[in-house]
Amino acid sequence: MTPSNWRPSRIGTQGTEELSIHNYEELAALHAIARILAHPQELRDQLEQALREMSARLGMERGMISLMDRETGEVWLDVAHGVNIKGLDVSYRPGEGITGKVAQTGRPMACANLGQEAHFLDRTGARRFLNRAELTFLCVPIVYDAHVVGVLSADKVTRQVENLDRELALLSSVAELLAKAVHSRALEEENRRLRKIVGRSRAPSTDIIGNSRAMQEVFGLVAQVADSNTTVLIHGETGTGKELVARAIHKNSPRLKGPLIQVNCAAIPDTLIESELFGHERGAFTGALHQRRGRFEEANGGTIFLDEVGELAAAAQSKLLRVLQERQFQPLGSSRMIRVDVRVITATNRNLEQDLAMGRFRPDLFYRLNVFPIYLPPLRDRGGDIILLADHFVLKYAKEMAKPVKKISPAVSDILLAYNWPGNVRELENCIERAVLIATGDTIDLVHLPPSLQSRTRSGELKEQGKLNTAVEAQERALILGALKETGGNQTKAAKLLGTTKRIVQYRIQKLGIDARQFREKKPAPPDNSPKE
């Protein structure tokens, strides 16, 4: 029986309006979702269960719900089914990608063939190893009180889609049911995401790009420490952007108007490091023809950033420790003491704890420097930031080189996401700079990537993923064959046994090339009543 409050849904398409009446299966799915929402429980759990029903009953896979930021118009991915978003922090600016366009315009969009859709970003990487040409993408706004509060999206196998307008109308009906829960969820998350210092969404510097959870934590730490004079030690692999974080701390501190002096300790010979840091008098050593101010004296009233501090020699470590303790020092060859007001930020790509154990680094200096540690994550742990950074570098170098390049192809996105990036952000930037340089059109394609990147990716990570897909398919085939055998080829009973729907079982049987007829029980032959000899 159909509840009285269920009505046919209408959806505008290219200026026309088409009436779409839901069939029995669709009404049953909407009824199941309504029951989930009526049951008191955590909002996130309700939304996840609703996406699970969309997958099981409607064949709408990889369902995702994104929430709207009321102040900026951005949307960020909050709940998903069939997509691993743990550790990811995916967001879209107004008009960015299909999700951003739907959020901005409040109008639904559909892509009949994802393989041919340039605006589809796939920042979660969920379709990285799928045949996008076989998928249709559906995306609709979630509207509450005449305002867009979020976006609902899902994939569907293209051959199961008979009418795009009808599918959008169905997804819009689901969005109508979810609207109040999504609105409440957005309000629930607002303080945690935007108002809490640790985890604030905006970077402390326009030079730092990142929406991943790991980078949000870094931004929060920068915000906490910037206002103080606390000594900071930035840990991170080469190429992760330690100097950008140091600059952001200085720019967000009361010392903003003072100098920021940067010193690469690894680039200065041991014999000159003391003179470089603390200065020298004329004649202090051979070649010292003039008096010279050291970097600490130049940084007075501001910040000094000592990069690769783990490379300092023992003598320089000892003098640096004394400066940190007393805030004064003697230039080489001088008897005068110079007092300075300097904020010290250091960075290293070494494991200083290991260096302590091996006697390479002074413990007392380490504890002086490591008052407020900040750990920068490697690029391979930053999820969706890879494509975000790639897009940023494309625009940057296209502008510098006056070239028409505007985007990267989906195939390139796949490779960038699959690669391990041992050189981190610096390696990615170099890769994109080269690609923009040799690209002739408006899109970066596979041929524009370094050959080493292509070969490593194809023979490494993608090959392993192919093995995984094969293993998963083999396991799925075994489960379906076992269920069909147990139920005598009855697909309805097999679906119930597997905890899914008949429609999905039929699709997987066809996809895997299984002949279900071989399991049907043969009817016994009629008895032979002819006379026996």
Q: Which CATH architecture fits 380-459? A: Orthogonal Bundle (1.10)
Counting DSSP H helices and E strands in the chain, the numbers are 18, 17
Distance, CA of 203 to CA of 368 (rounded, Å): 27
pLDDT tens-digit readout, 383-413: 768 888 988 899 999 999 999 998 888 778 8
Spatial CB neighbours of 385, under 8 Å, sequence gap ≥ 6? 209, 210, 211, 212, 215, 379
Question: Sign of dihedral through CA atoms 279, 282, 283, 287?
Answer: positive
pLDDT tens-digit readout, 187-236: 777 645 444 434 444 566 667 888 777 888 899 899 999 989 999 999 99
Instruction: State the SS3 of 382-397.
Output: CCCHHHHHHHHHHHHH
Give the count of beta carbons closer than 10 Å to the beta carbon of residue 122: 22
Domain 9-195 shares a fold with domain 462-519: no
If you average pLDDT over every residue of the chain, what do you get?
A: 81
- In this prediction, residue 515 carries a pLDDT of 76
DSSP 75-89: EEEEEESSS--TT--
β strands within 9-120, DSSP E = 9-13, 16-20, 61-68, 75-80, 91-92, 109-111
Lowest model confidence (mean pLDDT) among 73-87, 168-182, 284-298, 480-494: 284-298
Residue with tokens 């999206």: 153
Distance, CA of 455 to CA of 444 (rounded, Å): 17
Among candidate residues 203, 240, 196, the one with its CA nearest the CA of residue 218: 203
Helical segments of 327-362, H only: 352-357
Domain 9-195 matching CATH 3.30.450.40: the answer reads yes
What kind of fold does domain 213-376 have according to CATH?
Answer: Rossmann fold (3.40.50)
Indicate whether 358 pLDDT > 70: yes
- In this prediction, residue 456 carries a pLDDT of 55
Residue 447 or 21, more confident: 447
Model confidence band, residue 288 (pLDDT cutoffs 50, 70, 90): low
Determine the straight-line distance between the first and last CA of the chain, rounded to whole angstroms. 63
Domain 462-519, CATH homologous superfamily name and number: Homeodomain-like (1.10.10.60)
- pLDDT cut 90: percent of the chain above it: 36
- In this prediction, residue 499 carries a pLDDT of 64
Distance, CA of 68 to CA of 441 (rounded, Å): 34
- In this prediction, residue 384 carries a pLDDT of 67
User: pTM for this structure?
Assistant: 0.53
Give the count of beta carbons closer than 10 Å to the beta carbon of residue 3: 9
Phi, psi angles (nearest 5°) of residue 106: 75, 15
Largest CA distance in the chain: 132
- In this prediction, residue 6 carries a pLDDT of 31
Distance, CA of 272 to CA of 257 (rounded, Å): 29
- In this prediction, residue 141 carries a pLDDT of 96
Among candidate residues 339, 245, 262, the one with its CA nearest the CA of residue 301: 339
Instruction: State the SS3 of 492-531.
Output: HHHHHHHCCCHHHHHHHHHHHCCCHHHHCCCCCCCCCCCC
Kindly tell me the burial class for residue 176, based on how many C-beta atoms sit within 10 Å of its own C-beta (0-12, 13-18, 19 or more). Answer: middle
User: What are the sequence ranges of the domains in the chain?
Assistant: 9-195, 213-376, 380-459, 462-519
What number of residues does the chain have?
533
- In this prediction, residue 417 carries a pLDDT of 79
